[in-house]
Amino acid sequence: MGTTILAWLIAILGLLMIAGGIWDVVELWNQRRQTLVPLREWGIAIGLICGGFGMFGIAQALRLLRALVIVGVGGP
């Protein structure tokens, strides 16, 4: 049960990271019209989105590990 909750929490964290990265990209895009935005700022936003997808991958791996352990323990 605890592993399932942890997997869901990691997936929600990944979703929040992706949403935050997209929000940052939109803000940088709007700010670009006024001043020149350094490339480092774009890299941080893209890194945040990639980290969110990484969190989704970790959550999926945890769910798969839980399914394999349950099948291994409950099987013949």
| Averaged confidence pLDDT in the chain | 90
- The identity of residue 2, as a single letter, is G
The model's pLDDT over 38-55, given as tens digits with 9 standing for 90+, comes to 999 999 999 999 999 999
| pTM across the whole model | 0.83
Domain containing residue 19: 2-74
Over residues 45-70, mean pLDDT: 92
Q: Which tokens hold the place of 50?
A: 């990639």
Number of domains in the chain: 1
pLDDT (0 to 100) of residue 60:
93
- Decide if pLDDT at 20 tops 80: yes
C-alpha 23/C-alpha 40 separation (Å) is: 16
pLDDT (0 to 100) of residue 42:
94
